[in-house]
Amino acid sequence: MILGLLILAPILFSFVVFMTHLVTRNILVILFVIFLSVISVFNLISLSSVVEIALPHYFHNIFVFLDSVVLIFFLWQGIVKKHALVIALALVQIILYCEVLFLVPTLESSDILVDNIASIMYLIINIVGGIIIIYALKYVESENFSQIKKNGFIAILFLFLGVMNFIVSSNNIEIFFMLFELTTLFSYVLIAYRGNAISVENSLRALWMNQIGGVAILLALILSISHYDTLYFDILIHNRDNLFLLPIVFLILAAFVKAASIPFNKWLIGAMVAPTPVSAILHSATMVKIAPFLMLKLAPAMSGFVSISVTLIGTFVFFTASLLALNKDCFKEILGLSTIALLALMMALAAVGSEQAINATVVLIVFHAISKALLFLQAGILEKNFHLKYVDDIDGLINHSPLTVFFIIIGFASLTLPPFGAFIAKFMAIESIAQEILKNPLYIFALIFITLGSVFLTLLYFKVVTKLFAKNVDFQQEHTKLSNYYVIPSFLLLFLLIIGIYVTFKMELLSSIQIITPVILIAVVPFLFATLLFKKAHRVKEYNCGEKEEIKLGMYYFNVSPNYKKAISIVAIFGMLVLIVGVML
């Protein structure tokens, strides 16, 4: 009953959104988001055991029809847009899908499986995703769309939530493939939503790159049916033969694609041209979160070679993406690369497979979702209210909107500093991988990558914060009033971060002193910067006669040459090829 509501209700409600007036639409959306959030919390509280459901056969006919329509649509888009890669990959998927339909596996299981991890994912999808949709109500009104197109934008976001609720509940790999393709479809439509040339170009890149993930899942399906006689995750994982792990490896490859891991990172960075709520929901509550969820699902099936390979690839991407983020000035690109880095870390931890590593993965998934949603909401505010896209241009922002500055600081702090869960998860990650070194010395490289990546993300935090605190003392303070549709969602996400700190305290992941001390520092330091004591302070040189000195606060960058970027991609591709070839030999 609850699962049906979480899957069907957002899909049905999306049609209601199309036909409602502006004010009515906003009220209904807010009420519906509250409804989804309550249902998600109730599901987590009431779940006492794993829920398994076998769907009637006619559902499978519906899914085959939907899958066929989506694949034909991809082919049609490739033909219309004259994009050879989209056409080729669509044709490959159609051929492989026909092969899947031709094969008839005999080992059957439940199509739906709801466990604790799925229930936690419901919280992220519906609460964090719902908050972003509330924010989008105001954001989309500033876009140059017709009212129907504005309503359609909100409707697609709800469709995204429904599909995501379904995909984290799926135990059937064929159904998982259909839902995987639907998320690709929705992201393609949303990235191209503005309709300009750059939006269309980046949406096509997102489409063909994600189609590679679809091909990987279909290959996994064919191999699973041929070798293990099943298309169900639980049977495949339970019966896997360590001498034949190709289906698992192809599913892992699909996860790397969805997470935009290097070398597939360009599709997610290109998605930044979409309206900011799209970036927010892709990075936090939907789309890319499929990757760590899939890794958690596959973790029990990973052998020693697969585990170490995925861990090394994931930690390498974490390290390199964090370094590349230091090379960027565009606020959204910084957020995008840090997402790629942290997703790779999540997948690496899931591949380790120990209890501590799995717990660290879940903590990181939850806190990353909240923090990235908060930061992207501020990115939208910078874009719409202050026309700012680059960190180097935000000098004096504290004069106009100290509240926005506060939320950005908290967002970055929650990704890098204690007592927030992202810091705790990285600390747990270092402990988990350090323990694995005794089993395999190669894990020492993973440990080095995590340590350096964590340092780079911390530098990134201070890089942004130093600009945010730059205050133009000659400028008269005129605070810009922000819409409640912007402010309230930000405060709700801040409240979720506070709840997260409380939960980690109750779980005893950190001691009281480790939690209280950073909280005091985080609260006191901004206060010292904002205090009236320094409000009228000017800097003068030692021998000046009191005249004010023009000061420009600069930023530091790690200049990464194109050759190094190519080398990083080559290393990542080589690692994935080693993973595939290694399990074939």
Span 566-579, pLDDT tens digits = 888 898 899 899 88
Of 257 and 547, the structure prediction assigns the larger pLDDT to 257
Tokens standing for residue 346 = 């999540």
Answer yes or no: is pLDDT of 489 > 60.
yes
**206 domain-assigned:** no
**462 domain-assigned:** yes
**439 domain-assigned:** yes
Tokens standing for residue 232 = 């169900």
Which pLDDT belongs to residue 390?
A: 83
pTM reported for the whole predicted model: 0.89
Answer yes or no: is pLDDT of 21 > 90.
no
pLDDT band at 537 (very low <50, low <70, confident <90, very high): very low
**67 domain-assigned:** no
Which pLDDT belongs to residue 536?
A: 47
pLDDT band at 503 (very low <50, low <70, confident <90, very high): confident
Which pLDDT belongs to residue 531?
A: 54
Span 123-145, pLDDT tens digits = 999 999 999 999 999 999 888 88
Average pLDDT value for residue range 413-419:
82
Rounded CA gap, 294 and 452, in Å?
A: 26
| Helices 355-385 + 484-506 axis angle, to 10 | 160
Answer yes or no: is pLDDT of 329 > 60.
yes
Give 173-212 as a DSSP string. Answer: HHHHHHHHHHHHHHHHHHHTTT-SHHHHHHHHHHHHHHHH
**458 domain-assigned:** yes
**423 domain-assigned:** yes
Rounded CA gap, 158 and 165, in Å?
A: 11
Tokens standing for residue 301 = 């099936």
Give 114-168 as a DSSP string. Answer: E-HHHHHHHHIIIIIHHHHHHHHHHHGGGSS--HHHHHHHHHHHHHHHHHHHHHT
Span 95-107, pLDDT tens digits = 999 999 998 888 8
Which pLDDT belongs to residue 125?
A: 94
Which pLDDT belongs to residue 391?
A: 80
Lowest pLDDT segment from 12-16, 84-88, 385-389, 494-498:
385-389
Answer yes or no: is pLDDT of 547 > 60.
no
**397 domain-assigned:** yes
Q: Which helix (H) or strand (E) holds 365?
A: helix 355-385
pLDDT band at 532 (very low <50, low <70, confident <90, very high): very low
**389 domain-assigned:** yes
- The number of distinct structural domains making up the chain is 1
Average pLDDT value for residue range 357-370:
91
pLDDT band at 72 (very low <50, low <70, confident <90, very high): very high
> Structural domain of residue 567, as residue ranges?
302-473+481-535+551-585
